[in-house]
Amino acid sequence: MTTIDQAALLLKLPAGDYFVFDDERKGALQSALVGLTDASTAPDGDGESVPEPLLAIGAPDAVDLDARTTVPVLIGTVQSGQRRWQVNPLTNVYLWVRDLESGALQVSTPLLKERRGEKQAPSGKGVPPDELNAATTITAVDLVDLRQQLESLEPGRHVVTAVDYDLRSSTLALRLTSGTPRPEPAWAAPHAYVQSEADVREEVPEVVRIPATAAPSGPIEARVEMQVGLGSGVLRSPVDGPDAEWHWVCHFVLLQLDERPVIVAARAAVQPIGDAVRPTRFNAVFTVDLHAGARSPLGVGAALVYLEAGDRVLGPYPLDVTG
Please count the other Cβ atoms lying within 10 Å of the Cβ belonging to residue 199.
16
pLDDT of residue 297: 79
The pTM assigned to this predicted structure is 0.94
Please check whether residue 184 lies inside any domain of the structure: no
pLDDT in tens, 67-109: 999 999 999 999 999 999 999 999 999 999 999 999 999 999 9
CATH classification at residue 312: 2.60.40.10
Percent helix, strand, coil in the chain (nearest 5)? Answer: 20, 40, 40
DSSP states of 32-59? HHHHHHHTSEEE-TTS-EEEPPEEEEE-
* 3-state secondary structure (DSSP) of residue 141: strand
**Which of 177, 209, 235 lies at the terminal end of a domain, its last residue?**
177
Q: Are residues 45 and 82 in the same domain?
A: yes
Q: Are residues 102 and 200 in the same domain?
A: no
pLDDT of residue 50: 76
Give the DSSP H or E segment for 84: helix 81-86
Q: Are residues 127 and 236 in the same domain?
A: no
**Closest Cα to residue 96, out of 69, 57, 53, 139?**
57
pLDDT of residue 120: 85
Q: Are residues 132 and 13 in the same domain?
A: yes
Q: Are residues 256 and 158 in the same domain?
A: no
The mean-pLDDT minimum among 51-55, 153-157, 166-170, 282-286 falls in 51-55
The answer to whether residue 170 scores a pLDDT higher than 80 is yes
Beta bridge partner(s), residue 299: none
The answer to whether residue 153 scores a pLDDT higher than 90 is yes
pLDDT in tens, 33-73: 998 886 556 555 555 677 789 999 999 999 999 999 999 99
Structurally, the chain folds into a number of domains equal to: 2
Half-sphere exposure of 280 (CA within 13 A, CB side): 1
Please check whether residue 107 lies inside any domain of the structure: yes
The answer to whether residue 242 scores a pLDDT higher than 80 is no
Domain coverage including residue 312:
194-321
The mean-pLDDT minimum among 116-120, 167-171, 206-210 falls in 116-120
